[in-house]
A = this chain, B = another copy of it.
Amino acid sequence: MTTSSTTQGARARARIEVTAAIKDEARRQLAAEGAAKLSLRAVARQLGMVSSALYRYFPSRDDLLTALIIDAYDSLGERAEAAHHAVADAGPLSRWTAVCEGVRDWALAHPHEYALIYGSPVPGYSAPDTTVPAASRVGLVLIGIVREAHEGPGLTDVPLPTELRPEAERMTADLAPDLPTEAVTALVAAWAQLFGLVGFELFGQFNRVVEDRGRFFRHAVAGLGRGVGLR
């Protein structure tokens, strides 16, 4: 045991490659057919291996899905971070809408992966804690925008009823102790509402209702940003 260093034997390198190949093929099937039709046997078949061999790499279908979920969160998180960096010198509200549009663009480009992470959780499946860091990335970008606004041009005041103050302060301590608790609370709500907009567009709820969805989305998320105190 105690095999430590980076340059492992051919065995270990092969394992990494095969694992990646399985995930790639699985992602391809996911994009083509959706999570429910992702079949271990079909993945193995496509890779020219027998289905049981695949269990050497992923102990179950759910574990494969978990790997794909983490990748999807990371992919979306990267997109949000990239969108943020691309408009680094704009005002807070512009940065906010840019990040939101990055999220929407990613979702439209990867509908099945979006459904995997923000749609209904698959069967009895419940995401393990492993996914938490990747899942947090979009939220962290949004917090970053509020923070920069707070330290820079400032935030407008948003109301917070007293009955919610204990919970608001709990959340603030957890998420961003350096920010006004009103802004943090509004941010959490806006975060959820953002994905309501994206989900409704993606899952067909806007069919026959909203046509010019890009413009509608831009307007709606600008409203969200203002609700958080950005300007």
Contact = CB atoms under 8 A, between A and B. Distances in A.
Interface stretch (A4-12, A48-56, A114-122): A114-122
Contact of A196 (B119, B197, B215): B197
B34 A212 contact: no
Interface in A179-194: 185-186, 188-189, 191-194
Given A170-B211, A189-B216, A209-B188, A124 B203 contact: no
A163 interface: yes
List the number of copies, as a whole number: 2
Contacts of A126: 204
Contacts of A1: none
A191 to B, nearest CB: 8
A227 interface: yes
Nearest to A127: B204
A175 B171 CA distance: 38
A114 B127 CA distance: 19
A192 B205 contact: yes
A195 interface: yes
A33 interface: yes
Contact of A195 (B196, B216, B220): B196
A59 interface: no
Interface string A130-172: 0010000000000000000000000000001101101100110
A77 interface: no
Contacts of A223: 186, 189, 227
Contacts of A116: 120
A231 to B, nearest CB: 13
Interface in A67-118: 115-116, 118
A224 B227 CA distance: 10
Contacts of A122: 36
Contact of A200 (B115, B192, B220, B224): B192
